[in-house]
Amino acid sequence: MPTAIQAWNLMEARSINSVITRTNTIKATCSTSNQSDEVPFKRDRRINSSLRRQLLLLSPLSLILPSFPAVARNLPVSTGADTSRIGTRSTLLPLVTMRTNIALIRQTLQEQGRNEVIPLDDVIVKTKTALMLKPSKNTDNNNDEGAITIPTREEEFKRYFDAYSDQISYKQKFLDQNAFLVYYTNGFDGPGRDKLEKHPVNERQTLQFGARNEAWISLDNFLSEFDFYSTTTSTSRSTSNDSQESIDDMIKYLSDTIQAMDRYFNLAPVEDVEAVQ
């Protein structure tokens, strides 16, 4: 290892703050050294050559050292779902109900979004935790009992899917956590044994995970568009084309959500889906 690197002692550079502090110290030393010279621009090579080497080492370090540790994730994070009834009809039922509710909200937008007989804000209500479609448009009470609700938080929304979806196998976890080792050993699993990557992992779990994520992305797009629509006034809605475009976008995002959920249901047994519909 070069002497300059040994002198710098990389173990002391644990964060950007320590790098900045070291830089200021070196600059201050250089400044003091230059001011003490009797002849302008004359430098003491015995001192400044070492400082220059440290600065040359410091410049690339300040660019590559992160202020926080880098994190990567390939496997889904737990949403806290109850996994004791995976693949049962009792956990599939809430998903089918949610899909029906989303379709009802889309139908409401298609029927009432263009004529504005009743403001959509009075029919579709969004809170921090749920999206609600009130059961009666002509009722005078404000009781939300019986209202259709859809979770608006990502973790809660995905929890419904995770309660039914296949779980990640031990093999999937091992391959993910030891990807470097598996790659450079070509999947070696011992003499006379098949390679680790010979047999495919649970493909259905991967497809379920992808459909779940696509459903949330589309619903999240709808929620953002609904927030934008809610900020506009009734006057601006009637005089601007943006209002109609916003309604069309919301209908599209709900359709995308339904399509993603249908792809998810296609992975389940047909008889189970028909039984809970």
pLDDT-derived band at 204, boundaries 50, 70, 90: confident
72 in the Ramachandran plot: left (φ > 0), alpha (ψ -120 to 50) or beta?
beta
pLDDT at 184 over 60: yes
Give residue-wise pLDDT tens across range 173-183.
666 667 766 66
Whether residue 211 is found in the same domain as residue 151 = yes
9 in the Ramachandran plot: left (φ > 0), alpha (ψ -120 to 50) or beta?
left
State residue 195's pLDDT score. 67
Whether residue 112 is found in the same domain as residue 158 = yes
* Mean pLDDT along residues 149-176: 85
State residue 72's pLDDT score. 47
Whether residue 43 is found in the same domain as residue 111 = no
State residue 75's pLDDT score. 65
Whether residue 59 is found in the same domain as residue 145 = no
pLDDT-derived band at 122, boundaries 50, 70, 90: confident
> What is the DSSP code (8-state) at residue 235?
H
What range defines the domain where residue 41 resides? 3-64
Is residue 49 situated within a structural domain?
yes
Whether residue 96 is found in the same domain as residue 57 = no
pLDDT at 89 over 80: yes
Whether residue 140 is found in the same domain as residue 51 = no
* Gap between the Cα atoms of 183 and 185, Å rounded: 6
Flag whether the pTM goes above 0.75. Answer: no
DSSP string for residues in 90-155: HHHHHHHHHHHHHHHHHHHHHHHTTT-SS-HHHHEEE-SSEEEE-S-SS--S---TT-EEEE-SHH
Give 84 or 194, the one with higher predicted confidence. Answer: 84
pLDDT at 34 over 60: no
* Mean pLDDT along residues 115-136: 75
Whether residue 156 is found in the same domain as residue 255 = yes
Total domains, the chain: 2
Is residue 177 situated within a structural domain?
no
State residue 244's pLDDT score. 81
Is residue 83 situated within a structural domain?
no
Give residue-wise pLDDT tens across range 229-264.
888 766 566 556 777 888 899 999 999 999 999 999
Highest mean pLDDT among 81-90, 135-144, 231-240, 249-258: 249-258
Whether residue 60 is found in the same domain as residue 101 = no
Whether residue 99 is found in the same domain as residue 143 = yes
Whether residue 106 is found in the same domain as residue 40 = no
- Would the CA dihedral through 12, 17, 19, 21 be positive or negative? negative
* Mean pLDDT along residues 11-39: 54
Whether residue 119 is found in the same domain as residue 235 = yes
Whether residue 158 is found in the same domain as residue 246 = yes
Is residue 248 situated within a structural domain?
yes
